[in-house]
Amino acid sequence: MKGGVRILKNKLYLAAKLSLSVKLLLIIFIYSAFAAPEFNFNPRKRIEAQIAVNELNRIGVIGGEVIEVIGDENKYSLYWSGDFRNLFIKPKVEVGEIIELSLILPQGGAQDIRFTVGDMLGRTIFINLGSKDDFRLTEKSIKPLANKELKSEIARMMRAMINKEGCSCRYYVQELKRTIKKSKTVQITQEASYRYRNLSGAVLLIKNLTSKPLNLDEADFSNIFKNTVAINLGSGSGQTMRVIKPRGAARVFIITKEGEHD
């Protein structure tokens, strides 16, 4: 009888131990499934992630700020936090649709993102600007724009240049045809200049003179003008373009600020 009781106790102990193990595995699985993914900043690689339909999804930026977002605003609503380190995006499209964004960062950095809209709870993703990657933005290269009004003006001027707005009541706009650089592979021409207070904007036309695709990178344009605070690689329609087809062309938009950042 005692032997039978001992065996029963052993079975109950093993069952309880197995149940605890299963619970721990479930906890680990649930945590892994819902933990917010973190991506390292890389201007040459697009981030791909899922976000929830009809929900507010958060994009948290670690180690920096976002000064502009380029994308099709017919597909989403976007809300900013007061410190410009968090973006909240709510899709306007259905499950299975794709939303593409480009986050414009201080000193010309840009991160492309492709979201797939899914039937799930609101998601959070983090983008770490302090990655150990070769393309990281270091503390020296990041100069936070503490003045919120200045950030808004930079974003507004960038939109005006991309949308070819020539509002004389706000900007002094001058059409140009000035060659900035010409080589065997590329020709850079300034088509227009924008001016508002201590901000200056330049619309550049980049022509690929070769029979091969030409890759664009923000770093290629960071030293064309002094005191550059924002660079956007665009096709002129609000969509980021990083490769110019053979014998093709694309536009790049640059904003500079006189003196140091506020």
The predicted structure's pLDDT at residue 80: 74
- DSSP strand E in the chain: where? 38-40, 47-52, 57-62, 68-71, 76-80, 86-91, 98-104, 110-118, 124-128, 172-182, 186-196, 199-208, 214-215, 228-234, 243-244, 249-257
The domain covering 167-257 belongs, at the CATH homologous superfamily level, to: Golgi alpha-mannosidase II (2.60.40.1180)
Tell me the pLDDT tens digit for each residue of 185-199: 999 999 999 998 889
Residue 10 pLDDT > 80: no
Q: How large is the average pLDDT for residues 200-217? A: 91
Tell me the pLDDT tens digit for each residue of 105-154: 765 578 899 999 999 888 899 998 874 443 434 434 334 444 566 777 88
| Count of other CB atoms within 10 angstroms of residue 111 | 25
The predicted structure's pLDDT at residue 134: 39
Share of the chain above pLDDT 70, in %: 71
All CATH 2.60.40.1180 domain ranges of the chain, comma separated, are 167-257
The domain covering 38-128 belongs, at the CATH homologous superfamily level, to: SARS coronavirus X4 (2.60.40.1550)
C-alpha to C-alpha distance for 218 and 44, rounded to whole angstroms: 10
C-alpha to C-alpha distance for 141 and 131, rounded to whole angstroms: 13
Q: How large is the average pLDDT for residues 65-72? A: 81
C-alpha to C-alpha distance for 58 and 37, rounded to whole angstroms: 11
All CATH 2.60.40.1550 domain ranges of the chain, comma separated, are 38-128
CA 90 to chain centre: 16
The radius of gyration of the chain from alpha carbons, rounded to an integer in Å, stands at 25
Closest Cα to residue 108, out of 218, 212, 10?
218
pTM greater than 0.85: no
Token representation of residue 6 = 């001992």
Residue 99 pLDDT > 90: yes
